Amino acid sequence: MYTRLLGRSPPSSRPAPQKNTVRFPAMARLVMKFGGTSVANIERIRIVARHVKREVEAGHQVAVVVSAMSGKTNELVAWCREAAMLHDAREYDSIVASGEQVTSGLLAIVLQDMGIPARSWLGWQLPISTDDAHGAARILDVNGEEIVARFGQGEVAVIAGFQGIHLPSGRLTTLGRGGSDTSAVAIAAGIKADRCDIYTDVDGVYTTDPRIVPKARRLEKVAFEEMLEMASLGAKVLQVRSVELAMVHKVRTFVRSSFTDPDAPELKTAGDPPGTLICDEEEIVESEVVTGIAFARDEAQVSIRHVPDQPGIAANVFVPLAEANINVDMIVQNISAEGFTDITFTVPTADFERAKASLAGVRDQIGFQSIEGATDVVKVSIIGIGMRSHAGVAARAFKALSERGINIRAISTSEIKISVLIDAAYTELAVRTLHSVYGLDA
């Protein structure tokens, strides 16, 4: 996994970076979340336990949320498919949730062996209440009363992420891939934690993928809205739903590495540990024009040609796609000529064939002449809350890309984002160009 994330600073005269303000109050309440690579084996779990011990010895009340060991969920999913390709989603949840159950128990044992009072918790024991969408459940409520009560006894709660319970049926549910992030943020909101630390295999959020742009920088702070845009565009550090929850409940979320030495001196002080704080925009003293450059390779372009330009046609195109649960992103419609137009849009690459089949099924209703498509495309996005108050941001991008001979197939915008669809062959050139144009290079 890599971090194709954010960066900030204006195109020129970038000010000196602000010092990150992530200090805890005395006796803070803290949620620590560790992903699969962080708990990949017993040795890694012992290192995680040392991170937890450090925070406990600093006087904090700690709840830990853990994922399954790296690769375990994939193995469990494969077993389900091997047993039966068409299987009961409720039983699927029961099986795949077991990975987190194992990890939470093992971490509790290791903590106890270190002399730290700890107890493992499953989602249903809190409970974490969800709807009944098995495999992709949404959290409705978190009851953290018992965990908070045990904080008074100095006990660490080790909670299995990714899972909850549908109370009316009493069935275990799972939250979808990456759901442990969502569990951690929801628990942090439920117990009114001072901060939620997401420990992962990267040391924060970067301006873009460092493998493409060696000058990419780690950010100190990112606004919730910016992180939400990045996560929705395919960034791997945080799940989209976890960022949504953090923004709604204003849960300060700190992305940091679990591969640093737990006993490093800089981690034992009340100062600023290395990482990226995701916080409310108000905590960022001055928003930069552009925060960073993201890209997503899993995009496909669909174009329907010679469509009658009349009321209701757009609905006839996009309603069948919505009914097939196909997400549509960028939409471009040409100016009408002789009563006909072309409509172009993007869908996830995995849904490309299904999208074409759905449209073919309503061809007579729409009246288009042909369907064309391409999967060798990439979406490159420019993100920054500073765009709201600055003109010319898009013009600079379009000019820079044209000077590199990069053709833009489609464009979409929001208040804080500009996305362009280009040929995949130009991905690295486009990202490097835009990264430099907006002054993001270290």
Q: Could you tell me which residues are annotated as the binding site for ATP?
A: 33-36, 200-201, 206, 211, 236-237
How buried is 4 (Cβ within 10 angstroms: 0-12 exposed, 13-18 middle, 19+ buried)?
buried
Q: Which two tokens stand for residue 235?
A: 């960034």
Contact 424, 376 (CB under 8 A): yes
The residue among 196, 254, 257 whose CA lies nearest residue 60 is: 196
Consecutive H or E run containing 118: strand 118-121
Q: How many CB atoms lie within 10 A of CB 211?
A: 11
Q: Which two tokens stand for residue 150?
A: 């045990």
Q: Could you tell me which residues are annotated as the binding site?
A: 33-36, 73, 100, 200-201, 206, 211, 236-237
Contact 304, 317 (CB under 8 A): yes
Tell me which amino acid residue 172 is: L
Q: What Rg value do the Cα atoms of the chain yield, rounded?
A: 24
Q: Which two tokens stand for residue 47?
A: 């290192």
* Bridge partners, residue 30, by sequence: 62, 195
Contact 375, 349 (CB under 8 A): yes
Angle in degrees, 0-180, between the axes of helices 240-249 and 224-232, rounded to the nearest 10: 160
Q: Could you tell me which residues are annotated as the binding site for substrate?
A: 73, 100
269/121 Cα distance (integer angstroms): 29
SS3 category, 330: coil
